[in-house]
Structure 1
Amino acid sequence: MVSLKLRVASRAGLACLVLCLTGCGYFDSRTVHKAQLAMIGMTENDLHSCAGIPDKTLKMNATTVLEQYIYKPNTPGTFSIAPLNMGTVTYNGSGSACVMMIRIDRGQVSEVHFAGDNDRLIGHEGICEPVIRGCVRQPESTMRHVSGGLFGPVSAFSSPPIPPQSQSAVWNGPAADLPALRTPADQIAGGAAKAAAASRAAAPSAPVVPGGEAVIERSDAASQK
Structure 2
Amino acid sequence: MTLRRWMPLLLLAAAACTSPGARVAEQGKQRLVGMDVNDLQSCAGIPTRRSTLGDGTELLSYEQKNANTGGLNIEIPVLGGFTTGNSGSYCHALFRVAQGRVIGLNYTGDNDDVGGQDGVCAPIVRGCLRQPVPAVVPPPPAVVRMEPVGR
Closer, same or farther in 2 for the Cα pair 1:56/1:121, shift >3 Å?
A: same
Q: Does 1:109 align with 2:109?
A: no
Cα separation, 1, equivalents of 2:131 and 2:68: 26
In the alignment, residue 126 of structure 1 is paired with which amino acid? G
Size of the aligned set, in residue pairs, is 109
**Cα deviation code 1:142-175 (max 9, x no counterpart):** 8xxxxxxxxxxxxxxxxxxxxxxxxxxxxxxxxx
Matches within 5 A, 1:84-95: none
- The normalised TM-score by structure 1 is 0.43
Structure with the larger strand share: 2
Q: Does 1:53 align with 2:46?
A: yes
- The normalised TM-score by structure 2 is 0.63
Matches within 5 A, 1:136-175: 136-141=129-134
In structure 2, what is the equivalent of residue 128 of structure 1? 121
User: For 2:61, which of 65, 68, 71 is the aligned residue?
Assistant: 68
* Unaligned stretches of 5+ residues in structure 2: 1-12, 73-84, 136-151
Maintained 8 Å contact 2:68/2:88: no
Closer, same or farther in 2 for the Cα pair 1:122/1:93, shift >3 Å?
A: farther
In the alignment, residue 43 of structure 1 is paired with which amino acid? D
In structure 2, what is the equivalent of residue 177 of structure 1? none
Per the TM alignment, residue 63 of structure 1 is displaced from its structure 2 partner at its CA by 3.7
Q: Does 1:33 align with 2:50?
A: no
Give the structure with higher Rg (CA).
1
Higher relative contact order (CA 8 A, sep 6+): 2
In the alignment, residue 100 of structure 1 is paired with which amino acid? A
**Cα deviation code 1:76-111 (max 9, x no counterpart):** 2359xxxxxxxxxxxx66961101001001110000
Maintained 8 Å contact 1:95/1:120: no
Per the TM alignment, residue 26 of structure 1 is displaced from its structure 2 partner at its CA by 1.1
* Unaligned stretches of 5+ residues in structure 1: 1-16, 80-91, 143-225
Maintained 8 Å contact 1:102/1:110: yes
SS at match of 2:103: strand
Cα separation, 1, equivalents of 2:106 and 2:25: 10
Closer, same or farther in 2 for the Cα pair 1:94/1:38, shift >3 Å?
A: farther
Cα separation, 2, equivalents of 1:112 and 1:95: 23
SS at match of 2:89: coil
The 4+ residue runs of structure 1 with deviation greater than 4 A are 92-95
Identity %: 35
Structure with the larger helix share: 1
SS at match of 2:66: coil
Per the TM alignment, residue 122 of structure 1 is displaced from its structure 2 partner at its CA by 1.6
Cα separation, 2, equivalents of 1:49 and 1:140: 12
Q: CA RMSD in A?
A: 2.7
